[in-house]
Structure 1
Amino acid sequence: MRILLVASAFNSLTQRVHAELRDRRHVVEVHPAGDDDALRGAIAGSAPELVVAPMLRTALPRDVWSALPCLIVHPGPPGDRGPSSLDWAIHEGAVDWGVTVLQADEVMDAGAVWATAACRLPPVGKSDLYRNEVSDAAVGAVLRAVERFASGAFTPRPQSGPDWRVPDHTRPYLRQETRRIDWAGDATDTVLRKLRAADSQPGVLDDLLGAEWYLHGGHREHVLGGRPGELLATRAGAVCRATVDGAVWIPELRRRRHPGGPATFKLPAVTALGDALPALPEVPAPLMPAPEDQVWSDISYREDGPVGLLRFSFPGGAMSTGHCRRLLDAYRFALARPTSVLVLGGGRDFFSNGIHLNVIEAAPDPAAESWANINAIDDLVEAVLTTTDRLVVAALGGNAAAGGVMLALAADEVWCRQGVVLNPHYRLMGLHGSEYWTYTLPRRVGAAEAGRLTAQALPVSSAAALRGRLVDRVLPCAPQDFGREAGRLAGLLAASPTAQGRIAAKKAAREADELVKPLAAYRREELAVMRRQFFTPDAPYHALRAAFVRKRPAPAPAPRR
């Protein structure tokens, strides 16, 4: 079937719906929402049988939805309406939630229902939920709705009339006045709900050190405390702030934009505050905490018999120079431990999206910071590629892109959760890429497929990645269960009678490959291209990066999907 995806952003859900529909042999085109005339032209040109809108910030025009079936994905259960559904659910502490696929109609979110799917909301941030539990439910509902439409035998159920048993629950946009934290009165649980309901966008507007900032993300602190609202400490770029009954860690901040001023963007909290940050103690978390310890950290290591588990979780999956160096230190620590299998990753959200474009954009010399960042992530990938005394498994509980995919490919096996979306390319940022991808990607999928993946710049579903040998195993489990399941399977791998033979064969293969072409040669060739792209002022990378971090349309002539 010919399907036109209309979305306000080619975000994680739009990418996953796109990939899943293509897996089922539908002909899928993508068109950005917002320009109604351009949308009409796209419909006239492609003549779709169906429009699917995974993510919209604006309503579709009446003449479009009245002439062509348009299915809207609403991130709320039947009867729930309004532009901030998921935000309200997290803000109010909902546990049971759902997604509804409905037909576009005169009243927003009030059209006939084509499909629904239930999901749970564990206590994590909105963006994490959106990419995981909500995404799983949305894709299931979209595929069911598309099947029903294609059959021609299904009649969508109106959200009104005597057969409708769900009360209408329309809620307004969740404004900053409601999101605002009362540091003198809100308990830690309340503060965390407010932070989690706005973690990626729009953030929680707050006064901090004499300026207005949006707070992004929040994690519970179990030991530190102080005067409510007081900054207590720093850790891994985050700041710790006291509540009335404890404290929370806030990883990122964004300066409030002044009217007519330049767009602002998220940065690690310590970086964002800069010289305004008072002298605070850096309170690192133990890399290998005791099992009973409840401590927030973006990198941690633990062991289960012969299996080492090195987990990391950086906001948005972006890895700055500092992130890469700290993760490399942790990786080297893990290599000194007596294990035969090392699991890299295993968290429930992003694995990695490569270099940290926001930190680069904010640097005094973005070209120099780009160079430092790419070399730092290359050092990490090289350490994984040259590990020959144990098996390394990359465990992707969430999405990965660009250098993050190539980091995973450095491992001996790549496992991902069902529903993960991979973007194994750099082209949309105007970059050639490094991370030894010219060695690892063709080695896995072949030269022709490597060329196609990097040139087409399309998202790849977990099922397609498995078919194409980009990954070795897909785990059909809930997001909350992925880390535990990956650890269990790693234990079976370590206990396998073939494990030691595989380690020996891996060492021999690495030595043979090194004789044919040293890893240093791949790195040198990749970085020669990257250096030109970083240090040439009019290279497309700089304008594309600036547009990306400020959430502006890509400048022309931008690569097209």
Structure 2
Amino acid sequence: MHILLVASAFNSLTQRVLAELQDRGHTVGVALALGNDDALREAVRDHSPQLIVAPMLTTAIPEDVWTGHTCLIVHPGPPGDRGPSSLDWTLQDGAQSWGVTVLEAVAEMDAGDVWAWSPLKVPPLAGKSDFYRGEVADAALDAVLLAVERFASGKYKPRKQKAAALSAGWRPFMKQAQRRIDWAADPTEVVLRQLRAADSQPGVLDELLGVQWYLHGGHPEGELRGRPGELVATRAGAICRATVDGAVWIAQLRPWREPGSRLPSFKLPAVQALGDLLPAEVPEVPAPLQLQLPAARRTWSDIRYSEHGTVGMLNFSFAGGAMSTVHCRRLLEAYRFAQTRPTSVLVLGGLRDFFSNGIHLNVIEAADDPAEESWANIHAMNDLVEAVLTTTDRLTVSALGGNAAAGGVMLALAADEVWCRDGAVLNPHYKLMGLHGSEYWTYILPRRVGESEAQRLTQSALPVSAKRAVELGMAQRVLQAAPEELGDEVVRMAAQLAASPVLVERIAQKKAVRAQDESVKPLQKYRDEELTHMRRNFFDAREPHAGLRSAFVRKEKAPRTPPHLARLGLTD
């Protein structure tokens, strides 16, 4: 069946729906709803789709489109739930169960007939964006596939929603007044719910050190204390702020701007955003790399190392999957520590949500010299990837609980095995940022998928599902695990790998292959060749990268559907 996806952005859910529908043999096109109804109408005429699916939509589809075609809208919320801030209200209210509904587009928002819905459990601590890319995306995909199957059968009659339920289920757009934190009165649990419900957009508007900021990210702290609202510590770029009964870690800040300002703000690590405003007396309280804390101890760290028999687990989780120069260097230091440990299998990742999206474009954009910071960042990423590639005394595994892109994909593929949670989406390309790419991709990708496929993947700039990644040779396993269960499943499977009777043989073989590859073409040569292109991308004012980076960081909307998406699903 030919399906047209209509979405307000080519976000993670839209990418996943596209990849999963393609995996099932459908031809799929994409049209972005960017406020130009005529352009959307033209896309519909060009595609003549049998079905329109809207995975993520913030504007209404024109009436003549939904009356002329069956249009299925993905709404985060169970049947009867309505409104543009459904996800936010649910997290703020502390709900434990929820769902995603696929309903038919009609004139009244979220009031159409129900084609499918899928229930889900709300994770206890995940922020909105993590929840959206995890449990919500899983439920949405299940509901979309069921709705498409029912539509294709031609026999299914969607269920009408009752007027009384529709009226009772409406909840308005959540404003900052409903997100406000009262630091003098709100306990930690309430503060965390407010922060979770606003992550990663729009953030919670608040005053800190005499300046208005949007707060992004919230993690509990069980021991540090202070006067409610005051800063009590920093750690790895995050700030710790006291509540009436504890404290919370806040990873990122975004400065408030006057409405209509020509200088839109963007998120930065909280300590960097504060800059000279941060009082000198606020201490840096590092978390030990190998945490051995009581089970009840609650704190936050973006890098953790643990051992399970002969399996080492190097967990890391950076906001938005972005890895700055500092992130890369800290993770490399942790990796070097892990290499000193008596393990036979070393796992990278293994947490829910993003694995890595490569260099940190926000930190680069904010730098005094973005080109120089880009150069430092790409070298730090390369150093990390090289460390993984040259590990020959044990097996390495990359465990992807969520998405990866650009250099983050190459970091994952540097390991001996790649395990992807079902639902993870990989974007193995740099093209949309105007970059040639580095991280040894010209060595890593072709050795897994072949030269021609590597070129196709990097030039088409399209997402790859976990299942397709295995078919291509980019990954070895698809893990059927819920986001909250991924860590335990990875440990279990890594223990099996460590107990394999052919483990010693595999380690010896990988060492021989690395030596052979090095004799044919040293890794340094791949790096030098890639960085020749990247230096031009970063430093040449005629290159498009700086403009593309700025637009991405500031979330500027494209005026039209990008050509590589507009061509999808159309016959020549």
Q: TM-score range by the shorter chain?
A: over 0.9
String of CA shifts for 1:90-121, please: whole Å, max 9, x gaps.
00000100000000011100000000000011
Which consecutive unaligned segments of at least 5 residues does structure 1 have? none
Give the Cα separation in 2 of the matches to 1:427 and 1:388: 32
- Where do 4+ consecutive residues of structure 1 move more than 3 Å? 164-168, 554-561
Give the Cα separation in 1 of the matches to 2:528 and 2:563: 26
String of CA shifts for 1:140-172, please: whole Å, max 9, x gaps.
0001001111110001111027xx978831100
State the SS of the aligned residue for 1:132.
helix
User: How do 1:9-408 residues align onto structure 2 when only pairs under 5 Å count?
Assistant: 9-33=9-33, 34-123=35-124, 124-160=126-162, 168-259=168-259, 260-279=261-280, 280-292=282-294, 293-408=297-412
**2:476 is equivalent to residue 472 of structure 1:** yes
Q: Which amino acid aligns with 1:156?
A: P
Cα shift at 1:322: 0.3
Give the Cα separation in 1 of the matches to 2:270 and 2:559: 29
Give the Cα separation in 2 of the matches to 1:202 and 1:487: 35
State the SS of the aligned residue for 2:352.
coil
User: How do 1:483-522 residues align onto structure 2 when only pairs under 5 Å count?
Assistant: 483-522=487-526
Give the Cα separation in 2 of the matches to 1:9 and 1:555: 12
String of CA shifts for 1:186-231, please: whole Å, max 9, x gaps.
0000000000001100000000111110000000011101100001
C-alpha contact (below 8 Å) 1:428/1:558 kept by paired residues: no
Tell me the percent identity.
68
Give the Cα separation in 2 of the matches to 1:165 and 1:246: 40
Which consecutive unaligned segments of at least 5 residues does structure 2 have? 566-572
Q: Which amino acid aligns with 2:36?
A: D
Cα shift at 1:558: 7.0
User: How do 1:376-455 residues align onto structure 2 when only pairs under 5 Å count?
Assistant: 376-455=380-459
State the SS of the aligned residue for 2:426.
strand
* Superposed CA RMSD: 1.4
State the SS of the aligned residue for 2:28.
strand
Cα shift at 1:257: 1.4
Give the Cα separation in 2 of the matches to 1:464 and 1:503: 27
String of CA shifts for 1:298-327, please: whole Å, max 9, x gaps.
000000010000000000000000000000
Give the Cα separation in 2 of the matches to 1:140 and 1:554: 30
State the SS of the aligned residue for 1:80.
coil
Give the Cα separation in 2 of the matches to 1:437 and 1:374: 12
Q: Which amino acid aligns with 2:511?
A: K
Give the Cα separation in 2 of the matches to 1:8 and 1:363: 30
Give the Cα separation in 1 of the matches to 2:327 and 2:93: 33
- Indicate the larger mover: 546-555 or 410-419: 546-555
Q: Which residue of 1 aligns with 2:569?
A: none
Cα shift at 1:460: 0.6
Q: Give the TM-score taking structure 1 as reference length.
A: 0.98
Cα shift at 1:89: 0.3
Q: Which amino acid aligns with 1:272?
A: A
Give the Cα separation in 1 of the matches to 2:478 and 2:218: 30
Q: Which amino acid aligns with 1:458?
A: L
C-alpha contact (below 8 Å) 2:80/2:165 kept by paired residues: no
String of CA shifts for 1:399-447, please: whole Å, max 9, x gaps.
1000000000100000010010000000111101000010010000111
State the SS of the aligned residue for 1:66.
helix
C-alpha contact (below 8 Å) 1:544/1:554 kept by paired residues: no
Q: Which amino acid aligns with 1:223?
A: E
Give the Cα separation in 1 of the matches to 2:314 and 2:277: 34
Q: How many residues align?
A: 559
State the SS of the aligned residue for 2:213.
strand
Q: Which residue of 2 aligns with 1:528?
A: 532
Q: Which amino acid aligns with 1:168?
A: A
Give the Cα separation in 2 of the matches to 1:189 and 1:284: 24
State the SS of the aligned residue for 1:10.
coil
String of CA shifts for 1:455-484, please: whole Å, max 9, x gaps.
111111111111111100011111111111
Give the Cα separation in 2 of the matches to 1:366 and 1:553: 22
C-alpha contact (below 8 Å) 2:111/2:166 kept by paired residues: no
Give the Cα separation in 2 of the matches to 1:301 and 1:271: 25
Return closer, same or farther for 1:474/1:291 CA change in 2, 3 Å cut-off: farther
String of CA shifts for 1:485-520, please: whole Å, max 9, x gaps.
111111111111100111111111101100000000
